[in-house]
């Protein structure tokens, strides 16, 4: 299959691109490098440095592909509160530009990178795809809800196959965000640099961590599906944040201090996935246990120091 990956020079996008190539697909990466890194694009992928705002050239870049995997988005929650218009433009309007260009270019399938944040505060656990979407506490989450709606609209209007993946908490090597807002890379970097580990809620919050290579495989697993489909992508295991920190200490071979940051507005006490739907549809399941994934992640960060 010929697949175009938007944001394919980023943390997750580069892993998706690598998985696509390993499975024999032809891949084009489209990235403006505002957040991605050219060095992360795997050899074998065609690379286009371009922007989704370029409405004139976008259909030409898409033409000839069988599917698009859409991962280009801003993800910093705090920044989304400070700059909601920037997030609306980049995450929502650029997604609509992509959908319209796909329609014009005859590309009839999209895999959209969404987030478990669309559920808001869960009413029950584990979270299922049939659970209602929740009120959002920040523009980042609102941008995911809005883009999901536009993706579904293009399915209804034009019969575009729309596979929406709701990620839980990805982690792993090659995460180079600056500033870094995700928990695990901040914990690992703090431990390796022997700084205090920043911790909210005394680490009692529960999250579902999914290793980046497992997450990447979910994108290729759904490529053969049709229609409008929503899938949770998680490990189906909830882990307390403090237990993640303890495992990082064990892997590093020493402990550092903990910086107790208290409570943080907007945090949900616990989230973890029910991912049986994607397993039943495709055979996909998470393979990398948290301890193994953390060890790989610590080793990668250690190799960069």
End-to-end C-alpha distance for the chain, whole angstroms: 38
| The dihedral sign for the CA sequence 286, 289, 294, 295 | negative
DSSP 2: E
Residue 50 CA to residue 292 CA, distance in Å, equals 36
Rg of the chain (C-alpha set): 19
Q: Which of 209, 224, 246, 118 is closest to 163 using CA atoms?
A: 224
Strands (DSSP E) along 17-149, which ranges? 26-31, 46-49, 67-70, 109-115
Residue 111 CA to residue 177 CA, distance in Å, equals 23
Catalytic residue at 272?
A: no
DSSP 302: H
The tokens describing 97, both together, are: 């530009």
The tokens describing 280, both together, are: 């039943």
Residue 195 CA to residue 191 CA, distance in Å, equals 6
Q: Which residue has the tokens 């596979």?
A: 163
Of 119, 140, 154, 231, catalytic: 140
Catalytically active residues, by annotation: 140
């Amino acid at each position: 299959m010929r697949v175009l990956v938007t944001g394919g020079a980023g943390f997750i996008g580069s892993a998706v691109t690598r998985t696509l190539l390993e499975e024999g697909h032809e891949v084009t990466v489209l990235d403006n490098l505002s957040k991605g890194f050219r060095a992360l694009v795997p050899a074998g992928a065609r690379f286009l440095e371009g922007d989704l705002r370029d409405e004139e050239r976008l259909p030409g870049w898409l033409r000839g592909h069988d599917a698009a995997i859409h991962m280009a988005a801003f993800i910093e929650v705090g920044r989304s509160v400070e700059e909601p218009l920037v997030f609306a433009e980049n995450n929502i309007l650029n997604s609509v530009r992509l959908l319209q260009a796909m329609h014009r270019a005859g590309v009839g399938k999209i895999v959209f990178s969404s987030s478990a944040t669309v559920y808001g505060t869960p009413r029950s656990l584990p979270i299922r795809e049939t659970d209602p979407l929740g009120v959002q506490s920040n523009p980042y989450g609102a941008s995911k809800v809005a883009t999901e709606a536009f993706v579904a609209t293009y399915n209804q209007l034009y019969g575009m196959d729309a596979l929406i993946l709701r990620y839980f908490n990805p982690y792993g090597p090659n995460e180079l965000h600056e500033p870094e807002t995700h928990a695990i890379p901040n914990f690992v970097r703090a431990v390796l640099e022997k700084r205090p580990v920043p911790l909210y809620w005394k680490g009692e919050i529960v999250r579902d961590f999914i290793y980046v290579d497992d997450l990447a495989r979910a994108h290729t697993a759904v490529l053969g599906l049709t229609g409008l489909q929503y899938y949770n992508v998680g490990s189906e295991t909830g882990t307390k944040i403090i237990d993640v920190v303890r495992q990082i200490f064990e892997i590093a071979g020493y402990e550092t201090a903990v910086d107790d940051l208290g409570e943080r507005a907007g945090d949900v006490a616990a989230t973890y996935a029910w991912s049986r739907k994607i397993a039943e549809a495709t055979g996909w399941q998470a393979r990398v246990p948290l301890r193994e994934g953390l060890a790989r992640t610590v080793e990668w960060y250690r190799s960069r120091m």
